[in-house]
Amino acid sequence: MSQSEKPSQKKESVDTGIHTNFKDDMTYGDYLGLDHILSSQKRLSEHHDEMLFIVIHQTSELWMKLILHELEAATKSIAGGELEPAFKMLARVSRVQEQLIQSWDVLSTLTPTEYMEFRDHLGHSSGFQSWQNRLIEFSLGHKNERALLVYQHQPELYHRMEKALHQPSLYDVSIQQLANRGLPIDTNRLQRDFSQDTIADASVEAAWLTVYRNVDQYWDLYELAEKLVDVEDRQQRWRYNHLKTVERIIGYKTGTGGSSGVTYLKRVLDHRFFPELWNLRTQL
Q: Which positions make up the binding site?
A: 53-57, 115, 119, 242, 256
R_g (Cα) of the chain, nearest Å: 24
User: What sign does the CA torsion over 182, 183, 185, 190 have?
Assistant: negative
- CA max distance for the chain: 88
Distance in angstroms (rounded) separating the CA atoms of residues 135 and 146: 13
Distance in angstroms (rounded) separating the CA atoms of residues 232 and 230: 6
CB 194 within 8 A of CB 170: no
Q: H or E segment at 170?
A: helix 170-180
Cα atoms in the 13 Å half-sphere on the side-chain side of 116: 8
CB 273 within 8 A of CB 235: yes
The annotated binding site for substrate is made up of 53-57, 115, 119, 256
Query: How many angstroms from the chain centroid is the CA of residue 55?
Result: 17
SS3 141: coil
CB 243 within 8 A of CB 263: no
Distance in angstroms (rounded) separating the CA atoms of residues 84 and 79: 12
The annotated binding site for heme is made up of 242
Distance in angstroms (rounded) separating the CA atoms of residues 151 and 159: 9
